[in-house]
Amino acid sequence: MIEDILNDLTKTNIAVGVFCLWVLWNIVTRIDEERRIAAYGKHAPAVRCWLPYNLDMVVRAIYNSLHDNNFEGWRSLFAKNGRGRYTVEARPASQRVILTSDPENIKAILATQFSDFGKGKPFHNDWKAFLGDSIFTTDGDAWHASRQLIRPQFIKDRVSDLHTFEKHVQTLMTAIANGGVEGMPGVATDGVAQGRVVDVSDLFFRYTLDSSTDFLLGHSVDSLRTPIQEFAEAFGEVQRVQSIIARAGLLNWLVPRRSFNAGLKVMNTFIDQYIDRTLAFTPAELDSKSTSSSYNFLHALGGFTRDRKMLRDQLTAVLLAGRDTTASTLSWTFYELARHPAAFKKLRQEIIDAIGETDAPTYEDLKNMKYLQHTMNEVLRLYPVVPFNMRMSLKDTTLPFGGGPDGKSPIGVLKDTPIGYSTLVMQRRKDLYPINDDPNMGVEFFNPDRWFGWQPKPWTYIPFNGGPRLCIGQQFALTNMGYTIVRMLQRFDRVDSFMPEGPMGVPVMKADIVLQPGAGVATAFYEAGREMV
């Protein structure tokens, strides 16, 4: 009888049977999922999609990413689907994903429910070739060990030691004055910056790479002096491909990695030579070097661990943060100052009144310059370094706000649910700012004066993240930015913008790993005390 039944089966019958079992399995799984979610809370408003598996949402996300329109894409998701709130959910490829720009939910993810959320295994797998088991890719004990290893290197005494920046700032200003890096086509060598148009963003990324490698390794790659620098080119290409890998999700195995692997080889070869030199010293010898001018970040790490992989992973992670955080923020600073001459003039006057046109600022000088601090705060409000971030729920849990019909219930979150959050959208939410009749105080406008007598509410302004994962290099980055801005405004008394206006006045914001100007920052600088030509 069984043989007769098997003989009667056709491929079509088998296919139909398998399909029915698959549908049944999905129904049972979904019912169980809904039961578990209900035990913890409610759903957030769902993103309205018209294609199966939310494919139209996926296509829009890819389109926005390719056209540097992620900010408007995220803001539109909340406006069209959030019912007045800033948390929504969707099911691309049948996996539930939650997106939020609500400060209470972000606080829960980063602080009050810190142990419930982490980077997760998928994130680690996507980034391990580039950043290994570093502070940026791990959770739990591994993350804590990384943080304990790195934290001592950013104590105030090291952060306030500004001599590392000075020589690189001087090289930067020479490149600006010459209209670009020496050796590039059309670059002058007279060192007089009277109106030469230059993409200062490119120079800032070179500058921070030079100062970061000097601080970390005791040796600068000198990319500001070399138009084509192998390590700099490799580092940039690895970042470019890594951003594609991270965004491709389950399809990232389709991303071509030939240039990525070649770049990693160049990077690792470069870094390994410095690790070799450091490990040639005993821990006692490294400790004895701590008072010498040649002592660097890698020497300090080498005094705590002899693990080559750990040294390589942490160095790469800190290099990424040290270079991109400062460079992107400096780029946005001069993008805005070039378009707001009154703010530029006010900031320069504060600097000249405090220390004159030639004296290098001290750490205390930088802290005491209020308009400088407000300017950096305003830039980081409009352009947070990491505009979009992801976490994975490590267990069944909740988000405190945005669930249910009235949006006041907790949201049930099951283990392994991806949660995206955007500080860029949150820090531009009109409802989180005081109502003001002055149009120049609008949330979309650059205005450092808003910071006089006003402070954002807790968790509505977190450009360096918050909670236990608060950026440990925050003060180092702010000090580097402030020092660079001061030295540049001492030398240059005018900067003009040659940037086209973006749609509705919003600039092109490119969000790969960090948020940077998508069209560069074309500016012309003029030196103080020189006549215009």
Q: What is the DSSP string of 363-378?
A: HHHHHH-HHHHHHHHH
**Residue with the larger pLDDT of the pair 95 and 291:** 95
Taking residue 188's Cβ as centre, other Cβ atoms within 10 Å add up to: 13
Average pLDDT over residues 461-490: 95
395 or 227, higher pLDDT: 395
**Poorest-confidence range of 116-125, 160-169, 247-256?**
247-256
Q: Is 49 among the annotated ligand-binding positions?
A: no
Task: Tell me the pLDDT of the chain averaged across its residues.
Answer: 89
Rounded to an integer, the average pLDDT of 76-92 is 93
Mean pLDDT over residues 55-65, rounded?
A: 84
516: β partners:
510
For residue 130, what is the enclosing H or E element?
helix 120-131
pLDDT tens-digit map of 293-325: 778 889 989 988 899 999 999 999 999 998 899
386 CB-side CA count, 13 A: 17
Q: In the prediction, which pLDDT does 158 show?
A: 65
Residue 373 has pLDDT above 60, yes or no: yes
Q: Which residue has the higher pLDDT, 121 or 163?
A: 121
Query: Is the pLDDT assigned to residue 505 strictly greater than 70?
Result: no
**What gap in Å lies between CA 526 and CA 533, rounded to an integer?**
10
Q: What pLDDT, on the 0 to 100 scale, is given for residue 528? A: 84
pLDDT-derived band at 52, boundaries 50, 70, 90:
confident
114 or 181, which is more confident: 114
- What is the predicted pLDDT for the residue at 437? 62
Owner of token pair 């948020």:
515
Cα(478)–Cα(355) distance, integer angstroms: 19
pLDDT at 533: 47
% of the chain with per-residue pLDDT over 90: 60
Looking at residue 137, its pLDDT comes to: 95
User: For the ranges 94-103, 275-284, 524-533, which has the lowest average pLDDT?
Assistant: 524-533
Residues 175, 491: Cα–Cα separation, whole Å: 13
pLDDT tier, 462 (very low <50, low <70, confident <90, very high otherwise): very high
pLDDT over 80 (residue 464): yes
Instruction: Give the span between the Cα atoms of 329 and 346, in whole angstroms.
Output: 19
Of 1.20.1260.10, 1.10.287.310, 1.10.630.10, 3.40.50.720, the CATH number of 41-527 is 1.10.630.10
User: 258: part of which helix (H) or strand (E)?
Assistant: helix 258-279
